[in-house]
Amino acid sequence: MLKLFLLICLSITVSACGDNTQSQQPELTVEPVQVTLLEQYRNQAANVLTIIYANEGAEKLEQESAKLVELSQLLLNELAAEVPQCKRYLTSLNAAASEMVNLSVEKIASDYLNGHKLPNFNKPICYHIKEVLVHGATVQAIARQGLNNKLEYKTAELDIIEAIAHFDQVEAELTD
């Protein structure tokens, strides 16, 4: 009986000691990182370029370039407020974006890269903002038509690089 009593006391003592290392360590909190729309666009453009370099296929490229076009549209809305001289131009462009993503590469080039379907603009930044959207939509159209040879991959690559170059111009003008 004494052995049983000692065994119970020992069990209670051991369980009372337990592992209390958690309570001794300070609690760490991780603050969520806020990513701006500009950073989101840059990251997605880099992602699209990586997909092209990896030859991941038309379906993947179309999906990811569609995300880039969506970010471009959000950027258009934000920049229309920040650059009031471009508001009319960017509003027209944003209205055309839903139609643009369903057009052929040739039609996007003739109507939007050349600007035939858009009003005139007053500031160069308006042009650069347009190019960010239009080149993203062009990559999406190239992917939708299928990436059947190296030339189509190269064309998509050059379009996304051009979109990034125009994006760099937009960022530079916004920070001036």
The reply to whether 44 falls in a domain is yes
Q: How many domains does the chain have?
A: 1
The reply to whether 30 falls in a domain is no
pLDDT of residue 114: 84
Rounded-to-integer distance, Cα 102 and Cα 138, Å:
10
pLDDT band, residue 24 (cuts 50/70/90): low
Tokens of 172: 């530079």
The reply to whether 125 falls in a domain is yes
The reply to whether 111 falls in a domain is yes
pLDDT of residue 7: 47
Q: Are 56 and 26 in contact (CB under 8 A)?
A: no
Rounded-to-integer distance, Cα 106 and Cα 124, Å:
24
The reply to whether 5 falls in a domain is no
Rounded-to-integer distance, Cα 112 and Cα 119, Å:
11
pLDDT of residue 56: 92
Q: Supply the mean pLDDT for the chain.
A: 86
The reply to whether 69 falls in a domain is yes
158-175: pLDDT as tens digits: 999 999 999 999 999 988
Helix, strand, coil percent content, the chain, rounded in steps of 5: 75, 0, 25
Provide the whole-model pTM: 0.79
30-88: pLDDT as tens digits: 666 778 999 999 999 999 999 999 999 999 999 999 999 999 999 999 999 999 999 99
The reply to whether 29 falls in a domain is no
pLDDT of residue 43: 97
Nearest-10 Cα torsion for 99, 150, 131, 81? 70
The reply to whether 18 falls in a domain is no
- The domain in which residue 130 lies consists of 37-175
pLDDT band, residue 4 (cuts 50/70/90): very low
